[in-house]
């Protein structure tokens, strides 16, 4: 929210700063006392008090300890204002091709309860989303929270998502999901298993949400952040100025289907030949290991082999890293990120070494001069943390917060 120099007015159409705007200022840490809110917004003391009273009645704000003195003349320290992260909880799930994780989180991203298990996306959305509803009910019971405390659900899926509709669009590795009403089905599954009312459901690509979770947690000051997930497939998430970059219809970051010369004769699961994912993903490495007589069917199998130092898996992972690194040289030159994070089943030393070899050979020195190439901080929880953050940022954004306050009658 950008404030203008005109008292009591924001940069949006000249309207006065709302309670939702004040909440955003407090949550972001830009103004955490009544005096600071008056100074930033230009609102009168009485008006700030009225706006804050609505937020207190909703249970969204609380008073903290004494902060800095607002007045240059001195006096008692001002009482600080804090976002109350205990008034609601968030549910999140992260789907992979054959495995899923789910969690109950606080509004600030702390995981209260978690479970994982086998869920196969090829079984179709009705079965998978129905099972997630049961998982959510179990998590609530385990953590001792009521279903009515849930303010929203976030879901990460391994395919491109139209963020306006929450539907996946022509997903290469999610047969039967194209155009399916994921939001509606998951909301119904939650209600069926808990008896609670309908809650908002937000859906996004798994690499996007992993990037969002990692950037917000460990690199909040990085204005251009790229995460590459290499598991059964390959995808990238891009966070620019704190927001996920999705492209015009959710297709940004789908680097697994860039054509590479080495794979000209290799058929990809998307139906095309020569895709990067067909020659350098965890699934591709598993296939090559299987051809050599080493039992491996997926990226997770490759991860287990790499953990034991299996020589053939190590060599193939490094080779896959070199192929991905060649594509990432273009990505880095185009986006000039401050952080490039490697995540997923293959995100170990052999693969990352291969990425570095080709990336620094092929990318412009100017593009890599201030680049950090790192591995995941949050590991398998990155998508869950990102999905939870997506829900919170959506529900407590100024305009949405105002709508919810009116619906609560405060």
- Facing residues of 337 across strands? none
The predicted structure's pLDDT at residue 173? 84
Smallest Cα–Cα separation from 320: which of 293, 287, 354?
354
Instruction: Tell me what pLDDT residue 72 has.
Output: 53
Q: In 10 A of CB 292, how many CB atoms?
A: 11
Q: Contacts from 268-275 at CB under 8 Å and sequence distance 24+?
A: 268/172, 269/172, 269/173, 269/233, 270/172, 271/172
- Residue 3 has what pLDDT? 42
The mean per-residue pLDDT over the stretch 23-47 comes to 95
DSSP strands (E only) in 199-319:
201-205, 224-230, 234-240, 243-244
Angle between helices 299-307 and 311-335 (to 10 degrees): 120
> Taking the alpha carbons of 227, 229, 234, 239 in that order, is the dihedral positive or negative?
negative
> What are the helix (H) ranges across 228-281?
276-280
Question: What percentage of the chain carries pLDDT values higher than 70?
Answer: 93
Residue 99 has pLDDT above 70, yes or no: yes
pLDDT score recorded for residue 249? 86
Q: Which domains occur in the chain, in start order?
A: 19-83 (1.10.10), 89-208+384-408 (3.30.420.40), 211-379 (3.30.420.40)
| Range 334-361 average pLDDT | 96
Span 260-279, mean pLDDT?
90
pLDDT of amino acid 11: 39
301 — phi, psi (to 5°)? Answer: -65, -40
Q: Hey, CA dihedral for 154, 163, 30, 214, is it positive or negative?
A: positive
- pLDDT of 4 > 60? The answer is no
- pLDDT-above-90 percentage for the chain: 85
Find out whether 238 and 254 touch, Cβ atoms under 8 Å.
no
Q: Are 25 and 403 in contact (CB under 8 A)?
A: no
Cα 8 from Cα 13, distance rounded (Å): 12
Confidence of residue 396 (pLDDT cuts 50, 70, 90): very high
Mean pLDDT confidence for 109-115: 97
Q: What is the mean pLDDT of residues 146-151?
A: 97
68 pLDDT higher than 90: no
Per-residue burial over 268-282, b = 16 or more CB atoms within 10 Å of its CB, e = otherwise: bbbeeebbbbbbbbb
Digit-coded pLDDT (tens) for 277-332: 999 999 999 999 999 999 998 888 999 999 999 999 999 999 999 999 999 999 99
Cα–Cα distance for residue pair 221/241, rounded to 1 Å: 9
Mean pLDDT of the chain: 92
Backbone angles phi, psi at 198, to 5 degrees: -70, 140
**pLDDT for the residue 8:** 39
Structure tokens that stand for 190 in this block: 């939650």
Mean pLDDT of 165-185: 94
Ramachandran region, residue 228 (left: φ > 0; alpha: ψ -120 to 50; beta: rest) = beta
How does residue 71 score in pLDDT terms, banded at 50, 70 and 90? low
pTM comes to: 0.90
Segments in 163-221 forming alpha helices (H): 182-194, 206-218
For the chain, give the number of residues: 410
pLDDT band at 5 (very low <50, low <70, confident <90, very high): very low
CB distance 117 to 180 below 8 Å: no
pLDDT in tens, 196-225: 999 999 999 999 999 999 999 999 999 999
């Amino acid at each position: 929210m950008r404030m203008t120099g005109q008292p009591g007015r924001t940069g949006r159409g000249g309207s006065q700063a709302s309670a939702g705007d004040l909440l955003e200022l407090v949550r972001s840490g830009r103004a955490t006392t009544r005096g600071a809110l008056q100074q930033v917004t230009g609102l009168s003391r009485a008006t700030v008090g009225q706006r804050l009273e609505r937020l207190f009645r909703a249970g969204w704000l609380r008073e903290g300890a004494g902060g800095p003195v607002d007045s240059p003349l001195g006096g008692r320290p001002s009482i600080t204002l804090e976002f109350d992260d205990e008034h609601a909880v968030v549910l999140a799930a992260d789907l992979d091709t054959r495995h899923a994780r789910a969690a109950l989180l606080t509004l600030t991203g702390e995981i209260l309860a978690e479970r994982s298990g086998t869920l196969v996306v090829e079984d179709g959305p009705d079965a998978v989303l129905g099972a997630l509803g049961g998982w959510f009910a179990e998590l609530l019971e385990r953590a001792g929270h009521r279903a009515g405390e849930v303010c929203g659900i976030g879901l990460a899926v391994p395919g491109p998502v139209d963020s306006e509709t929450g539907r996946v669009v022509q997903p290469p590795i999610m047969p039967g999901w194209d155009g399916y009403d994921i939001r509606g089905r998951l909301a119904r599954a939650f209600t069926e298993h808990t008896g609670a009312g309908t809650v908002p459901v937000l859906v996004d690509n798994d690499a996007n949400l992993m990037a969002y979770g990692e950037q917000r947690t460990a690199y909040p000051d990085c204005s251009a952040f790229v995460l590459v997930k290499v598991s059964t497939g390959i995808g990238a998430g891009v966070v620019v100025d704190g927001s996920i970059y999705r492209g015009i219809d959710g297709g940004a970051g789908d680097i697994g289907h860039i054509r590479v010369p080495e794979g000209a004769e290799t058929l990809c699961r998307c139906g095309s030949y020569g895709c990067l994912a067909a020659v350098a993903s965890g699934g591709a490495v598993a296939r090559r290991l299987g051809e050599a007589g080493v039992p491996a069917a997926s990226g997770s199998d490759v991860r287990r082999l790499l953990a034991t130092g299996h020589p053939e898996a190590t060599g193939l992972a490094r080779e896959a890293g070199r192929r991905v690194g060649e594509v990432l040289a273009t990505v880095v030159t185009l986006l000039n990120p401050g952080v490039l994070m490697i995540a997923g089943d293959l995100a170990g030393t052999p693969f990352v070494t291969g990425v570095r070899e080709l990336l620094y050979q092929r990318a412009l020195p100017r593009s890599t001069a201030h680049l950090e190439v790192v591995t995941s901080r949050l590991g398998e929880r990155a998508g869950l943390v990102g999905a939870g953050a997506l829900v919170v940022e959506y529900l407590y954004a100024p305009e949405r917060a105002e709508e919810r306050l009116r619906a609560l009658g405060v």
